[in-house]
């Protein structure tokens, strides 16, 4: 296993280029993005190309395994015409190959790839001293029982287990200190992000009556299902429709259990498909242990997110809406407390392709480089 299992606290490729953790200037790392053809990959490319620390950098954009190997050369602008800049030459998308990554001196690799592909590629990247920010679900879950939903298979189970134990769940609002020094960051799921950010402050403060249970009713735009069309995501099914799916079995449930430290009997999450392109609205029903004032709930949320620039709190009884967050990097939170002071409804909104995927990944990059976590995202 050589150096691949070295303690993550040892020197890393980013140590030399990010000597200051206070936001001071530092040299930008060399970055590659694999899987740039998908929706999240396209947003990630856009953010990196416009990032104030990175906009002049020569990024390496890569297809997924097999993409482009038997076809004519393709550019980022061919796939995503909205990224075209007047007077700027096209940006090539290369077939994925480790020699290309090494020759380019890549220090950070973003993986916007299927779960199985990310699980296979991460050990190789770490062995090559490349830090990884993975947008798939391959490394998010520490408990094997939760991870089983992805049906992952490891060529070297012992090595995968060691890397899994090292992987940091990439929710900056919960784990920013660990993310700064991580070699492997597992970007959270979009539904999970919306629910975790709504519940974490209340659970940490001990306000929630877990015996009464929590109900998470979450709705997402069609892009959350990925770019490949299915029978339930094509226009004729999704338009003018609203449907529940993956009841008692959605992949993001394990993230809720592990990050919120609750069990299956204490939380119920049901996702729904909205007939819109993007955005998530999660309505969360819970009961508090004792009668509480709205000002107390507000205080808990404000204290928890005081240093979180990408979480916006709506003053009660105002509630977030998808139109307020779509195409932004924010998660908006709001709540209404019943007159009895016990029944609380939280509403959380975010863009599933941004705060639920690409912009959260860039937020993690910013932390790893010692930059302000909101840089390039506002």
3-class SS string, the chain: CHHHHCCCCCCCCCCCCCCCCCCCCCCCCCEEEECCCCHHHHHHHHHHHHCCCCCCCCCEEECCCCCCCCCCCEEHHHHCHHHCCCCCCCCEEECCCHHHHHHCCCCEEEECCCHHHHHHHHHHHHHCCCEEEECCCCCCCCCHHHHHHHCCCCCCHHHHHHHHHHCEECCHHHHHHHHHCCCEEECCCHHHHHHHHHHHHHHHCCCECCCCCEEEEEEECHHHHCCCCCCCCCHHHHCCCCEECCCCCCCCHHHHHHHHCCCCCCEEEEEEECCCCCCEEEEEEEEECCCCCHHHHHHHHHHHCCCCCCEEECCCCCCCCHHHHCCCCCEEEEEEECCCCCEEEEEEEECCCCCCCHHHHHHHHHHHHCCCCCCCCC
Contact 134, 118 (CB under 8 A): yes
Q: What is the pLDDT of residue 14?
A: 59
Q: What is the pLDDT of residue 174?
A: 98
**Whether residue 317 has a cis bond before it, omega within 30° of 0:** yes
Averaged pLDDT in 10-residue chunks for the chain of 378 residues:
45 48 63 94 95 88 62 79 80 91 96 96 97 97 94 95 98 98 98 98 98 98 82 83 92 97 97 96 98 98 98 97 98 98 98 98 98 97
Residue 171 designated active-site: no
Distance CA 6, CA 16 (A): 18
CATH of domain 191-350: 3.30.360.10
Instruction: Evaluate whether 2-187+357-369 and 191-350 have a shared fold.
Output: no
Catalytic residue among 190, 331, 349, 369: 190
Q: What is the pLDDT of residue 280?
A: 98
Q: Give just the sign of the alpha carbon dihedral 347, 328, 279, 92.
A: negative
Q: What is the pLDDT of residue 26?
A: 61
Sequence spans of domains, the chain: 2-187+357-369, 191-350
Contact 197, 333 (CB under 8 A): yes
Q: What is the pLDDT of residue 84?
A: 85
CA dist 324 → 33, 329, 348 (Å):
29, 11, 11
Contact 168, 304 (CB under 8 A): no
Distance CA 313, CA 151 (A): 37
Distance CA 201, CA 207 (A): 9
Contact 172, 364 (CB under 8 A): yes
Q: What is the pLDDT of residue 110?
A: 98
CA 141-146-150 angle, to 5 degrees, is: 80
Within 13 Å and on the Cβ side, how many CA atoms surround 260?
29
CATH of domain 2-187+357-369: 3.40.50.720
Q: What is the pLDDT of residue 91?
A: 87
Q: What is the pLDDT of residue 193?
A: 98
pLDDT tens-digit readout, 30-50 = 999 999 989 999 999 999 999
């Amino acid at each position: 296993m050589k150096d691949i299992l070295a303690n993550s606290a040892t020197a890393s490729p980013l140590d030399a280029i990010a000597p200051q953790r206070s936001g001071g200037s530092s040299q930008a790392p060399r970055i590659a993005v694999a899987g740039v053809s998908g929706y999240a990959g396209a947003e990630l490319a856009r953010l990196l190309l416009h990032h104030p620390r990175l906009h002049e950098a020569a990024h390496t954009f890569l297809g997924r395994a097999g993409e482009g190997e038997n076809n004519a050369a393709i550019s980022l602008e061919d796939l995503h015409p909205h990224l075209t800049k007047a007077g700027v030459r096209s940006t090539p998308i290369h077939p994925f190959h480790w020699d290309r990554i090494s020759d380019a001196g890549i220090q950070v690799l973003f993986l916007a790839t299927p779960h199985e592909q990310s699980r296979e590629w991460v050990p190789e990247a770490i062995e090559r001293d490349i830090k990884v920010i993975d947008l798939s679900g391959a490394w998010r879950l520490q408990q094997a029982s939760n991870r089983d939903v992805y049906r992952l298979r490891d060529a070297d189970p012992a090595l995968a287990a060691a890397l899994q134990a090292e992987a940091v769940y990439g929710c900056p609002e919960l784990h920013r200190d660990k993310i700064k020094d991580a070699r492997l960051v597992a970007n959270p799921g979009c539904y999970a992000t919306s629910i975790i950010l709504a519940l974490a402050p209340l659970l940490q403060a001990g306000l929630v009556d877990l015996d009464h249970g929590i109900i998470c009713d979450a709705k997402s735009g069609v892009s959350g299902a990925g770019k490949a069309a299915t029978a339930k995501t094509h226009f004729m099914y999704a338009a003018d429709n609203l449907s529940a799916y993956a009841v008692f079995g959605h992949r993001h449930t394990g993230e809720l259990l592990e990050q919120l430290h609750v069990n299956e009997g204490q939380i119920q999450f049901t996702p729904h498909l909205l007939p819109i392109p993007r955005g998530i609205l999660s309505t969360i029903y819970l009961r508090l242990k004792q009668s509480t004032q709205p000002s107390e709930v507000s205080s808990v949320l404000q204290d928890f997110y005081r240093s979180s620039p990408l979480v916006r709190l709506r003053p009660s009884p105002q509630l977030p809406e998808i139109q307020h967050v779509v195409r932004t990097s924010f998660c908006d939170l709001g709540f209404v407390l019943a007159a009895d002071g016990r029944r609380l409804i939280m509403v959380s909104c975010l863009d599933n392709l941004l705060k639920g995927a690409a912009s959260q990944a860039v937020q993690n990059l910013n932390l790893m480089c010692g930059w302000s976590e909101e840089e390039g995202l506002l």
